[in-house]
Every structure is written in C-alpha cells, then in structure tokens.
Chain A
Amino acid sequence: MAFSDVFDTSLIHDAVERSVYARTGDVRDALAVGVQTLEAAAALCSPAAGAMLEEMAQRAHASTVERFGNTVALYAPLYLSNHCVCTCTYCGFSMGLDIKRKTLRIDEVIREARTLGQRGFRNILLVSAEHPKHVNAEYLAQCVAETKRIAQYVGLEVAAAETEDYRKYVAAGCDGVVLYQETYDPAIYAQHHLGGPKKSYRPRLDALERAARAGVRHLGIGALLGLADWRFEALALFAHARYLEKQCWRSQINISFPRINPSAGDFAPAQPVGDAQLVQLMCLFRIAFPTAGIVLSTREPAALRDALLPVGVTHMSAGSSTEPGGYAAPGNAGEQFQLEDKRDVDAMSQRVRELGYEPVFKDWAEMRSAPYPVAAP
C-alpha cells in the first residue's frame, strides 16, 4: 500500500467545504481533544479558528517548548545544480528559462561545504534541480559522502527517486530527504508541471515512503503555498503526515510551509497566502503533530521569521544562497528564487539568542557509516 492508494482528494475538498461552517465550539473541541481526525484539522483551519489565532498560537508555543525546549536548529542549503529537464511554472530553474546553468563539480561541492562548515554549520541540506545526466544518483551519493565529512547531518532536497537510489543515498550518509509535493491537487499540479519527470504526480506523492523504506531517518514534507487553496493544501498535508507517521514510524517528520517567492520566471501565485494564514497553518500543524519539526527558510523576511520562531519553528536556515556555488564563489549561476532574509549566520544567531533561544548547529552524530575510523578498544 502507498499513500496514493488511500489519498482521496474528494474527501479533502469536502472537509474544506465543511470547515467554512465550523464554529468556535468546534475549534475549542478540537483543541481540547486533540487533532487526530481530518474533521478536527478542518476545524483548526476554519475561519472560526482564524479568529482564535492568539489562543492557537499560545498552545502551539507551549507545545513546541515542551518538546523542543528553548532551542532552534540552524541549517544551510547547499545548491548543487540548476540544470533542469523539468518545466515548472513557478521555478527559477525551469528548463526553458534563460539563466546561467551550473552543476558543481565534486571539488566545488567540497569547497561550498567547507565554507559552510567554517561558518559553523553542521547541518547541510543539499538541493538540486532535476537532470538525469548532470545530477544522477551516483553524483548525489558522492555529494552526500563528501559533505558528510564536514557536516554530521546531511539532507537531500532533490528529484523524487526509487527505493534503490534512496538506499545509495543512505549508504553515503544521507540523514533526511525533503520532498515537497508542491500541490496536492492533481489538476492544479498538472497546470504547473508541464514537462519532465516531475510532471508525474503520483510517483512524487509516494517517494517519501520509498525513502523511509530505504532507511532515511527524517522526512520533510510540504506544499508550495500559493498554487491552490491553502485550506486544501493544509488538510491534504495533514492526511499525508498522519499516514507517514503510522506507516513510517521510524522516521521523524518535518513540515515546511514555503510560500512562492519572485524568481526568474516572474510567476504570480494564483492564491497567495497571507501572514495570518501562514500562522494558522503553523499552529494547526504544531498542535496536530507536537513531535514534528517545523522548518522555516530564508524565503520569508527577517522580521516575520523572528515573529514566527516562538510560534512553533524548530529548524531555520540562515545566511542562505540558492545559487549553485553561491557561498564560495557567488555570481556564477542563476538562483532558484529570491531570498527575503539576507542576514548572515552570526547576525541570525545573535537574533535567535535575543529572542530567548539557543541556536543549535550540531544536533546529530554520524551513527552508521564511518567518516573517520572509530575502533573497538
């Protein structure tokens, strides 16, 4: 069985419609008994819940501190390649766009990782566009293995893969896979993914299960907010997260709420998501999934990131570049999208401390493969 076998978008649409009629009492009930069902989740993304945002935010904050303490993990994305065979309407790496293309050589990957390592990062997310020739599984596994010498935690945000390839990544030291469905609505998905392997909705939907089966320890899910109705995405994401939690019980789930930012394609989101809705989404997921990580990238502006941290954020990127090679040698390739929060890692750490949190760079140790030998005595 896979998620695509049980995921029924009509149930989600029905729940979205009913959520409009949720009352304050429904929201209070959901908060009191916990958010186990789709109905309870629908109550928390209702307009009625929107009017109770402060109460939800207080709950979300308390729940986050209980589980994660007064800490936030800092990580950095490392862009490997912007060569892409996919045509996606919203993405700055989309195939037809006229941008400078580059795939980092392994020595360049090492240089980038070292630069990040010198800045203190021990958690690096390798990101790449989709290109079977430039960015194949062997290349990615090699990138993981090299980055692992510098960072104890290495994640991958790359093309959806088969179980066999995920095994290669895990063997190389991959700790987590991030794969956003972009939109859970198949019709809207088809409107925005016009060419390339990413055009297929279903293999992407089931990819994280394959990753978990291959031994990936952390699964990152999310929807690219702005393509479809945010309530639909929220409830679909809820269903996906619950499914993964039960089926892939050994894997930690991390959730992200990326909003569409300006990129080379000049794409305008059809259904932009406002700050209040973003907060409501974050509260819903924190309350429904008290143990999930919530990830917030530098897509969002600095002031908003600072304000969102106490609501429920557990992982933040800092000092990021979305351009391949952008840390050690910037200006040689096109970026995926424009970043809002341009603070460097020291400024970010300082601000995190001012907000009463400890910035945590290292929260993982290499446990499986051995980057350096540790012998029995």
Chain B
Amino acid sequence: MLRKNRVLLRLSQCSPGTAGGMPKEHISTSHEEDSLTDLLSLGGRTFASRLIVGTGKFSSPELMADALAASGAEMVTVALRRVDLDMPSKAITDFIDQRRYLILPNTSGAADAVEAVRLARLARAAGLPPWIKVEVIPDPRYLMPDPVETLKACEILVGEGFTVLPYIHADPVLAKRLEETGVAAVMPLAAPIGSGRGLKMEAAIAIIIEQATLPVIVDAGLGVPSHAAAAMEMGADAVLVNTAIATAANPVRMARAFMLGVEAGRAARQAGRSPELAVASASSPLTGFLRER
C-alpha cells in the first residue's frame, strides 16, 4: 500500500492535470505493476529503485538527507574515510536512516588492493553492512581505477564473504574477469568521476551489458537525468549518481529529476524501442493499401 501511494504521488507530482488526456489512474496502475515486478536483484536482495546515490559533496548533511529522500534511492554509498568512527554522533552515517537505505560503504582513498581490503574490513568492523564498493584509485587527478589492484582486492573480499561491487573503467574483459571472482555486480564508469560528461564510454559499456551475467551499474560521470535515462535505455541495471545531485543548484529537485530519468529509461528499455533507421520511415505508409488487398 505504501509503495502504491508513493507511485501515485510521484505521478501526480510530475503530471499536473492529466498527461496527454489519459486518465491518471490508468497510467499509475500500469506503472505500479511495472515497478512492483521489475525489481533489481543484487547480492541476494531486491531493490525497487535503480538509482544509487552517493553522499559526498553536499553542503550539509541535512540537505544530503533530503536529497536522498527525494531520489527514491534504497541504496546509498558512503566513503568510509568520511565516517568518524571515534565520533559517531557527528558521522555522516548518522544522517542516513538505515531502515530505509542500505549503506554501501566504499573504499574511496585506497590506492592499492591492500588498502582497499583494509578499508572494507574496517567498514565491517564498524558495524556497516558487509557490502563494499571497491574503489582502487592510484591517480588523484582523473581518479581512474586501477584494474589490476581492483581485481586483486575483489578476489580477497569475495573470499571474505563481502558482497562486492567493483568500480571499474569500462573494460569488457575486466568485467568478465571480475564476474569470475564472484562479485555481485560491475560498475563501469560513464566518464571521469564528477565530470558530468555523460556516456563517454558508451561503446564499451554496451559490450559489458551485452556480455554480462550480473547486474551492470553505470557509475560516475552522469551529469543530468537524460544521461541516466540513456544508460538505462542501453540496458544498464542501475546507475549511481553523486556529484550531479550534490552540486546542483537545488539538490533535492535534481535528486527527484534523476529518479524520474532512471524510471523513464528503465521503462523505455522494457517497452522495447523502435529501430533507429538511417532514412525516414512514415508512420502512415502511403502504399499500405497495396498489401491490404
């Protein structure tokens, strides 16, 4: 019931009056059915939302909490290096309702496998869920992940029972190698972190999606909801967004916009797009009558 109300609320918010003259109930019912059955299955859990939100760069923890709520996300990622284990009352995790959101700790700051593994263990020891987004980034400028060290870290952490989600360059072979280690998903980058440039790695991400046996979560570089929608239309299972929401002029509205973009892209993917043609194709063919005879 709660879920239904939420869906109805969303639609009534996004379409004042009626959309295209169609009765509101009609849209919401079909949408509701979609969203009830179309769950993201990840690491043995299911999620109705396919938008994962990052918690960095917000101007205040209160604003972050509001943006998380507006995003409809059910999973949020937190850099362990930002969590003050000595001062729990001031910790960023204090502003994240863990009944509502699964916290996905990340190893931001780690420059090699040893450091990533250490951070993951610290996160678990601190009582955070045994989920870990592996980020191994030796390059502080472009923040490109190290494929070799990422693979090593994932092997160790899978072995230790973590649900592992590696952040990777859009490298199809690496994605397959990681699948073999037992990770829960792969998270290829669309463009450099925080750049907001959109699906710069589109061709490689398409190969990763085509070959995947695990969820593919497009992470990093999505700047606007249309980028997120495009990733979902390509067949991504989910997207992760942080900077584009946190540094928008109005992060709460942008969070909601991303929610809608992700939902639109997912719905379009499931609806099955019409083919892209190099030439025009009339919607009402002039010679259709010849075939009707």
Tell me, in angstroms, the Cα distance from A65 to B243 when the chains sit together: 9
Residues facing B in A247-299 (CB within 8 A) are 249-253, 291
Q: Is the interface on chain B under 10, 10 to 19, 20 to 34, or 35 or more residues?
A: 35 or more
A139: interface (CB < 8 Å): no
Task: Assess whether A65 is in contact with B140, with CB atoms less than 8 Å apart.
Answer: no
A interface: dominant SS: loop
- A264 smallest CB distance to B (angstroms): 37
B234: interface (CB < 8 Å): no
Residues facing B in A301-347 (CB within 8 A) are none
- A220 smallest CB distance to B (angstroms): 13
Tell me, in angstroms, the Cα distance from A160 to B221 when the chains sit together: 39
Task: Assess whether B243 is in contact with A362, with CB atoms less than 8 Å apart.
Answer: no
Task: Assess whether B81 is in contact with A363, with CB atoms less than 8 Å apart.
Answer: yes
Residues facing B in A341-361 (CB within 8 A) are 353, 356-358, 360-361
Supposing A356-B59, A361-B84 touch, asked if A367 and B141 sit within 8 A by C-beta, the answer is no
B57: interface (CB < 8 Å): yes
- B72 smallest CB distance to A (angstroms): 22
Q: Is the interface on chain A under 10, 10 to 19, 20 to 34, or 35 or more residues?
A: 35 or more
B interface: dominant SS: loop
Q: A353 contacts which of B60, B84, B90, B110 (Cβ < 8 Å)?
A: B60
Query: How would residues 4 to 38 of chain A score, 1 for a CB under 8 Å from any chain B CB and 0 otherwise?
Result: 00000000000000000000000000000000000
Q: A374 contacts which of B59, B60, B125, B142 (Cβ < 8 Å)?
A: B125
Supposing A367-B110, A367-B118, A374-B125 touch, asked if A362 and B83 sit within 8 A by C-beta, the answer is yes
Tell me, in angstroms, the Cα distance from A161 to B90 when the chains sit together: 37
Residues of A within 8 A of B121 (CB): 374-377
Tell me, in angstroms, the Cα distance from A249 to B124 when the chains sit together: 31
Q: A152 contacts which of B57, B81, B111, B161 (Cβ < 8 Å)?
A: B81
Give 14 A-B pairs besides A67-B194, A291-B142 with Cβ atoms closer than 8 angstroms: A69-B57, A70-B59, A71-B56, A71-B57, A71-B58, A152-B81, A353-B60, A358-B60, A365-B80, A367-B110, A368-B115, A374-B122, A377-B121, A377-B124
Q: List 6 A-B contacts (CB under 8 A).
A: A69-B247, A70-B59, A71-B56, A120-B87, A360-B82, A377-B124
